Structures are given as structure tokens and as C-alpha cells.
Structure 1
Amino acid sequence: MRQTKTSSARMFIAAAIAAGLIGLTACSSAAGAETAASAELGSSLEEITTFAKDEGSVHLIAYPKTWANYGESFEGFTEKFGIEVEVSNPDGSSAEELEAVRTLKGQATQPDVLDIGATFTKQAIDEDLIEPYKPSTFDEIPENLKDADGNWTAAYYGVMSIGVNANEVDVPQTWEDLKDPQYKGKIYIGDPREGASQLAAVFAAGLANGGSLDDISKGIEFFAGLADDGYLVSAESGAQALSTGEAAVMLDWNFNFPGIVEEMAKSGVDLQVATPSDGVFGTYYAQPLTIDSPQPNAGALWIEWLLSDEGAVSYAKSGAIPARYQTLVENDAIPADVLKQLPPAEIVEQIVFPSPSENDAATEAIMAGWGEKVASKTGF
């Protein structure tokens, strides 16, 4: 089972398009694609809710059930509003999400809302793929988690963490710990040229080794060293690598590990997770309404749900940090037992998000150097 929803840095492999999107577009184009009827977005939350119920469904893309506890969010949304949640290509990448809007624009199968990595928000705006929408909680969302013009808001964010099979290796507390010989031939990272979480791992390792948000080179050097010494392994996904024994260490967002606990237990894996203290890195995923959405009111209501207290608690159960975290804590809106699922306050306080220009610089550095310095030595 694929656990990490990939987000390509500027480009994605043609095979991924063939696997994820050709089937999607074929369904819409076969026998003539339906054209989405034009719908008007309500002028108030009450009106949006009424119109959304009339629309009857919301069409999402790249929302895995196990990612940030989305399965529970789907159920809660449908139970509260009576609106069905439809998801295409649940494990798709952010790049595939944008391609779906380009390809399906104006058709009934066009997604209404996306869930894209931070590095894709500017591209979505520049290509006119999203519709500005300011949710009712807009003023409670920190400035660095929203676009000032409402082109997108981020409902949650996470911190890069290390999960291990504690039956095989010790739980590392720092990135430096991964250089211990016990981890040789047992670390899975994946390809940061294709995935936002993998790119985040390089960012975090860079911060732990004297780098900065505007210089990811130290992170590339860190993994190049691990590759040279035979520490890295190639596999289809981190979850698969742990469950099959191909790896004993995987790097991912903290909010993705709860979703694989049961799977790991069935495979005899003692999954233990730690957030390295020497390189704390986090980033957000944005949920914009798409341009000329087929179900704009259902889409807007889905965004409202994700940013509501109920949606926030659902996120928090997986360890995903709700965008309205500060307001929720001040209002005691997150139950104590759920609050314990979030990273420690001292970790949350350290998270600083890269700016768009820093993300661009990191992407360029990864695209230029990862292949020769790391991938060529590991097979991915």
C-alpha cells in the first residue's frame, strides 16, 4: 500500500501520468464527456451550505484515506451535510492534481478542491487553475498559511519525522544518529525530485548539518554521504519497505505514521516514530477551490469543514497540526487525549515554513544535484 502522496518538484515522470491520469481522462472523454453545468457560489456560508446540499457531492483528487486521517473527515462531512465525497486518483501527486484541472477543465469530472504541496500554490495561481475563496475562519489562519487574496488556504501542516522498525534498529533521536552502522542498508527516503515529503527530509537533514531554508545543499550532501556508504535502499514506498523488511527506517510526515500502525503490526513491525531534535522542518498542504468548479458550493463547504473545529480535531487525531492551532488551543477546542497526538509544543514552536523563493531554490538544487550525487548510487 502506498503511504506517501507524492508531489513532484516542477515535473513528474511520464509513467506516472500514464498510470494516474490517462485512465482518468479516458473515462471522461469516452462516449463524449459531460460538460459541467455552470453553478454560482453562494454569497454567505448559509447560502453555500444550502446550494452544496443541492449539488449533492464534492469531487476531490489525491486525498488518500490514510493521509492525515482523511477517511474520518470524509465520513464526518457526509454525516453532517449529507453530501457524498468522491475521490479520484487518491495517491496522485500535486503535479497530477494540477494536470487534472488542466485536462478536465469545464467537464463534470473536474475536481472541485485540491490538496497540493506548498511548492505548487504559485504555479496553480499563475496558470489560473484555482478560484479565490476566503473561508469564514480566514482571519484565524496565520498569514504564512494562506494567500492574502484567498487563492488558497492551508488547513494543516506537519513535521518531518523518522519511523523505524524497533525490532531491527534503535530509534534515532537526531539526523546524525542515522550515520550509525546499525542503519547501513536500511534507510528508505525515496526521490525528492518527485515527492514533497522526500524534499522535506532533505531540507530537515540540511538544517541539522549547518544548512538553512535558502540553502538545501547541506541536506543533499548528507544523503550523498549515506548513499556513498551504502546506507540507503530503494523500494516502492516506505510502508512497503518496512513491512517487507527491505528497510528498517523510513522518513515521512508525522501525520502519516498513525495510518500505517495496523498494517505494520500485521507484518510484525514494531513501528516507533521520533522527530529529530537537530533538524526540525515542517510544511503545509493547501486546499484551493478549482477554477469553474462543477460543484463550487460543495467544494467551498469542504474547505470550511477542514478548517472547522470538527475538521481540525480529525486532522489532529493523526498528528497533523491544524492551521487554526493557536485559536483551537486557546478555546480548548481540541480534546486533551487528541492534543497528545500532536508533536510536542517545543517542536511546533520551531517550525518555520520556507518562502516560495526558498522552495524554488531548493527544487532547482535537488533537480540539478540529486541524480548524480545520490540516485545514481542507490537505484532510485
Structure 2
Amino acid sequence: MTITSKGRLTLSVAAFATIAAGACAEPSEELIAAARAEGMLTTIALPHSWCGYGEVIQAFKDKYGIEVNELNPNAGSADELEAVKANRGNTGPQAPDVLDVGLSFGPTAKEQGLLQPYKVSTWDSIPADAKDDEGYWYGDYYGVLGFAVNNDIFPDAPQSFAELKDGQFANSVALQGDPRTGNSVMMAVYAAGIAEGGEPGADALNKGIAFFKELKESGNYVPVNGSAQNIAQGTTPIYFDWDYNLLAMRDKLDGNPPVSVVVPTDAVIAGVYVQAISAHAPHPNAAKLWMEYLYSDEGQLGWLKGYCHPIRFNDMAERGVIPQELLDNLPPAENYARAIFPTLPEQSEAKDAVAANWGSEMGVQ
């Protein structure tokens, strides 16, 4: 996957929708009518601060007049698949229509018969290595793993995984949750393993577990979920997440306290998330319309506004439809130029390794 700066134009955010409308096919009137007849879309695991989803959801509602029922915004990828399984045959409000999961969860969900195929009208501009050939799942956006630092507590923010072992960071370093249930947390452990010299796959994940076990034994690791509230209060003054989530959190805190967002110098790990429609979606047409919106230029730019690199970034950059102001808000391009994109087999190995070893090594259930 490559990042390009070709074709940049200086445009206002308000202007991009006009350009986008001419660049990509609109969904059919038949699909729009069928989705409106269903009247609702049920999402899951979409926090409003994640990737700009708050504005993206509102824009979809405003454009099509369809109610969006939002389930468990803080769920992890594994929770999403369980929600589909638990609601087979349920047409009520607890059955999700669409999923947004880590890359490795896409093939798993397909194998388990949890997804239905659908190819959006912009299908050809989605990179081939980021989509299922049959349309069961496809990449939506990506970012890189980083950590946030409360600068009131640590004015000189550490810049690497290695530095986090220093005694000055006692009772300071946290993960966002349990790496066995959340893709972003698993990838933080994976990145630590790469920094420790691990080979891609299970070896990196196991070396990452060893890294966090060492932090726990030295007293640097805090067994509390990292969050905006906890970083502000100093409970978890350093915690890991995707760069786009950390940047949105930094903006929300607005300097109270000041926060640095660091992409570690010793491991730049990128993560692709994928979008899919549940095989048991109660509102299949609304789900398809949602997908069409997300993969339109307008939807992709909504994610970019939330600091995520949309999967069609290169296509839109080459056509010159990305506002310069959105590009200027992103982290430095070199952060992405150094990024490693773990493959599906490597992520699958990592999932197996974290499930097998995290609990026993870290002393947790």
C-alpha cells in the first residue's frame, strides 16, 4: 500500500461534495427507495470520535432520511461477530446490519457464514489487496499504531517502545482494553513485539506479550483501560491506540491537559479495518446504501476529516479531490512511509497467539 501526494488541490471542505458527486456513480433510485422503505440502519461498534464517525453517521442520516440505530459503540471486533451470531433470525433492534472490524476478522466472518456479498459502485478503485474477491468484505480505512502522552506529567514525551521501559514511567503505560477481544489492542501488542525484534506473525505477538509482561513486573504497566478521561486525570498518562483515535482525543481535550501523539520510532505498524454487511441484516437495503455512502468520495473524505486514511485515498488524490486542509491536518507523511502492513496470515497467527498466551503470561482471566 502506498501514499501519494499527487494531484493535491486547495479546496474548502464545503466544496468537496460537489466534486465528489461528479466523480462517482450515485446509488440507484431503486436502492434509495428500498432503503427508505426499511427506515432504519443498525450499526455496532462505531464511537463518534472514531474516524469521524459521528459526523459520517449524521451526514448519512441527513442525506437519506434514514434512522441510524447505534449499538454498543465501544464493542470490539470479536464482539461484533458475536452480536451477529446471537441475533440470527432476529429482526429487532439488537441485530446489526453492518460491521466495521479489523482486517483479520473479515475472512473469519466470511468463513463462519456471517456476511453477505455486495460490491459498491466504486469497487474498482479499492486496492485489490484490501478486499475479498467476491465482495464479502473490503477495506475501509487505515492508520498507524501510536501512543498518547499527558504532557503535564511528561513534558518530554518518550518516542519509542524501548523508552517506555525507563523507570520514570512507573504506573503510567496502559492499553485501551484486552488484546484478545479488540483488534486495535492486539495490534499494539504486536507493534511492541516488532520493536523488540520479533518476526512478523506469532513471534511478534509473543514478544509483544513479553514486553508488556516486563512493563508489568517493573511497575510501569497500568492494568486500567486507557481513555481520554484516564489520560486527563493522570490514571493512564500514556496509552496506545490508532493514531486517528488519539488525534481526535487530543483535539477533544483541547489542551486540558496538553497531549502529544507519538508514532514510535522503533515500530510503525499500520492497521486496515474492513466493512461488511451481516448475512442476517434486518435492513439489507439500508446496509447497501450505507456502504455506497461510505465508499463515495463524500464518505471517504468524512473519514479523512476524522484523521483516518480512507482506502480510496490514492484514487482520490490522483483525481485531485482531497482538500488541502484535510491533508495538512494529518500526521507527517513519513509516519506512513515507514509503515508495515501485517498480512492476513500474520494477523491470523497473532490472533491465535494472543488468545493462547496473553492470559497466562499477564496473569489475567
Structure-1-length-normalised TM-score: 0.82
* SS at 2:121 equivalent: coil
**Deviation of residue 173 (structure 1)?**
1.9
- Structure 1 gap ranges (5+): 1-43
Q: What residue in structure 1 maps to residue 6 of structure 2?
A: none
Task: Point out the more displaced range, 360-369 or 109-118.
Answer: 360-369
Task: Identify the match of residue 180 of structure 1 among 156, 166, 171.
Answer: 166
1:69 to partner: Cα distance: 1.0
Find the residue that maps to 2:98 and give its secondary structure. coil
Cross-structure match for 1:276: 264
Aligned to 1:53: 36
Residues 301-380 of structure 1: pairs in structure 2 closer than 5 A: 301-373=289-361, 375-376=362-363
Residue of structure 2 equivalent to 1:143: 128
Work out which of the residue numbers 237, 245, 253 in structure 1 matches 2:242.
253
Q: What's the offset of the Cα at 1:356?
A: 2.6
Evaluate the alpha carbon distance shift between residue 86 and residue 45 of structure 1 in structure 2; reply closer, same or farther with a 3 A threshold. Answer: same
Q: 1:194 to 1:95 in 2, by over 3 A?
A: closer
| Cα-Cα RMSD | 2.0
Q: Give the equivalent residue in structure 1 for 2:99.
A: 114
Give the Cα–Cα distance (whole angstroms) in 2 for the partners of residues 60 and 123 of structure 1: 19
Distance change (3 Å), C-alpha of 1:263 and 1:317? closer
**Aligned equivalents of 1:172, 1:332: Cα separation in 2:** 37
Could you tell me how far apart the structure 2 residues matched to 1:129 and 1:367 are?
Answer: 21
Cα separation, partners in 2 of 1:113 and 1:338, compared to 1, 3 Å = same
Which of 153, 164, 168 is residue 153 of structure 2 equivalent to? 168
Letter in 2 for 1:132: P
- Secondary structure at the counterpart of residue 143 of structure 2: strand
Identity %: 39
Contact 1:162 1:172 in 2 (8 A): no
Match of 1:234 among 214, 223, 231: 223
Counterpart selection for 2:110 from 113, 116, 125: 125
Aligned length: 333
The match for 1:221 is: 210
In the aligned structure 2, how far is the partner of 1:304 from the partner of 1:342? Answer: 25
What secondary structure does 2:326 align onto?
A: helix
**How far apart are the structure 1 equivalents of 2:87 and 2:359?**
33
Whether contact under 8 Å (1:242, 1:264) holds in the other structure is no
The match for 2:76 among 90, 93, 97 is: 93
Match of 2:273 in 1: 285
Q: Would the alpha carbon gap of residues 361 and 73 (structure 1) be closer, same or farther in structure 2, given more than 3 Å must change?
A: same
TM-score, normalising length: structure 2? 0.85
Aligned position for 1:74: 57
SS in 1 for 2:330: coil
What's the offset of the Cα at 1:187?
A: 0.6
| Runs of 4 or more above 6 Å deviation | none
**Which moved further from structure 2: 162-171 or 51-60?**
51-60
CA contact (8 A) 1:188 1:241 kept: no
Q: Write the distance in 2 (CA, Å) between the matches of 1:84 and 1:211.
A: 46
Q: Distance in 2 between matches of 1:171 and 1:317?
A: 26
Q: Take 1:262 and 1:319, find their aligned partners in 2: how far apart are those partners?
A: 11
Q: 1:99 to 1:193 in 2, by over 3 A?
A: closer
Does the CA contact (< 8 Å) of 1:113 and 1:288 recur in 2? yes
Contact 2:222 2:236 in 1 (8 A): yes
User: Which one has more relative contact order, counting CA pairs under 8 Å at least 6 apart?
Assistant: 2
Structure 1: distance between partners of 2:77 and 2:208: 23
Q: Gaps (5+ residues) in structure 2?
A: 1-26
Task: State yes or no: 1:83 paired with 2:71.
Answer: no
Q: Counterparts of 1:179 and 1:237 in 2: how far apart (Å)?
A: 18
How many Å separate the matches in 2 of 1:51 and 1:90? 26
